[in-house]
Structure 1
Amino acid sequence: MAIKITDECINCGACEPECPNNAIYEGGVEWAVADGTSVKGSFTLVDGTVVDAGQRNAPIAVDTYYIVPSKCTECQGFHEEPQCAAVCPVDCCVPDELYQETVDALLQKKEALHL
Structure 2
Amino acid sequence: MALIITDECINCDVCEPECPNGAISAGDEIYVIDPDLCTECVGHYDEPQCQQVCPVDCIPLDPDRRESREELMAKYERLSAT
Q: Distance in 2 between matches of 1:74 and 1:82?
A: 5
Normalization by structure 2: what TM-score? 0.97
Q: Within 5 A, what are the aligned runs for 1:1-115?
A: 1-27=1-27, 62-115=28-81
Unaligned runs of 5+ in 2: none
Q: Percent identity, aligned pairs only?
A: 54
- 1:67-99: CA deviation from partner (whole Å, max 9, x where unpaired): 000000000011110000000000001100010
After TM superposition, which residue ranges in structure 1, 4 or more long, deviate above 3 angstroms? none
Deviation at 1:105, TM superposition (A): 0.3
2: distance between equivalents of 1:87 and 1:80?
A: 14
Q: Which amino acid aligns with 2:48?
A: P
RMSD (Å) for aligned C-alpha atoms: 0.5
**1:112 is aligned with what amino acid?**
R
The whole-number CA distance in structure 2 between the counterparts of 1:94 and 1:14 is 16
C-alpha distance in 2 between matches for 1:19 and 1:111: 16
Bigger Cα Rg: 1
TM-score normalised according to structure 1 size: 0.70
- Greater fraction strand: 1
Once the two structures are superposed, residues 13-61 of structure 1 have per-residue CA deviations (whole angstroms, 9 ceiling, x without a partner) of 100000010000011xxxxxxxxxxxxxxxxxxxxxxxxxxxxxxxxxx
CA distance in 1, matches of 2:72, 2:50: 16
